[in-house]
Chains A and B, each alone.
Chain A
Amino acid sequence: GAGVSQSPSNKVTEKGKDVELRCDPISGHTALYWYRQSLGQGLEFLIYFQGNSAPDKSGLPSDRFSAERTGGSVSTLTIQRTQQEDSAVYLCASSLAGLADTGELFFGEGSRLTVL
């Protein structure tokens, strides 16, 4: 597609439920990133994919968080047993070849998660 697409744009869930957030990167972009943006917290790195592998998962806050990428394209971020502190905007970004060059990240508009 023309840009990075994320769905759902808004998700309200109850504490303890599982949620899945989807990211469809720009066609041809091999690198994909997930960030979390909490109110007043800036952007927090979660995970980075190069192709289907995730060489850097260092930002995942707990084992309730997981992500996968299939076919070198779409990625899904899964949060199990959601907690209220998981409420945030989850941003996905893609880039042509990671940041090995000076490539910029292209961001989607985010998925706003609210855990009641």
Chain B
Amino acid sequence: AQSVTQLGSHVSVSEGALVLLRCNYSSSVPPYLFWYVQYPNQGLQLLLKYTSAATLVKGINGFEAEFKKSETSVHLTKPSAHMSDAAEYFCAGRAAGNKLTFGGGTRVLVKP
């Protein structure tokens, strides 16, 4: 069965520091993986999607994700955190059929 695991439910970074959010998926997952962001009191918004065309995918707001098949990971990074990056981030994968399975989410706190 499909599963997506996010490591760390909370991450605290200083403004200007690297943001690294970790996501691993089960090997049964087809290579369609997504990162979504949820700002306070808002719905989820697509940050980026990986569709096997390239191992490094650039998303919105300066985020990017690198797909590593050997590690079954698709970690999300941003070189320099901004206060506006404070949000909850969800990794998701497409399982068999049309169901998108989400990880547990990682809440990012940005310190000034």
Spell out A's residues near B (CB within 8 Å). Answer: 4, 31, 33, 35, 40-43, 45, 48, 50, 55-56, 58-59, 91, 93, 98-100, 102, 104-110
CA of A98 to CA of B99 in the docked complex: distance in angstroms?
9
Chain B residues closer than 8 Å to A106, beta-carbon distance: 46
Q: Report B39-60 CB contacts with A as 1/0, cut-off 8 Å.
A: 0011111100101000000000
CA of A104 to CA of B99 in the docked complex: distance in angstroms?
12
Please determine whether B105 and A42 come into contact, CB atoms closer than 8 angstroms: yes
CA of A106 to CA of B94 in the docked complex: distance in angstroms?
15
Residue from A42, A50, A55, A56 in contact with B102 in the complex, judged by beta carbons closer than 8 Å: A42
Please determine whether B32 and A102 come into contact, CB atoms closer than 8 angstroms: yes
For residue B91, which residue of chain A has the nearest CB? Answer: A42
A–B pairs, 27, beta carbons within 8 Å: A4-B43, A31-B98, A40-B9, A40-B104, A42-B104, A42-B105, A43-B102, A45-B99, A45-B101, A48-B97, A55-B97, A55-B98, A56-B97, A91-B43, A91-B44, A98-B98, A99-B98, A100-B98, A102-B51, A104-B46, A104-B49, A105-B44, A106-B46, A107-B44, A108-B43, A109-B42, A109-B43
Chain B residues closer than 8 Å to A99, beta-carbon distance: 32, 94, 98-100
Chain A residues closer than 8 Å to B43, beta-carbon distance: 4, 91, 107-110
Chain B residues closer than 8 Å to A43, beta-carbon distance: 44, 90, 92, 102, 105
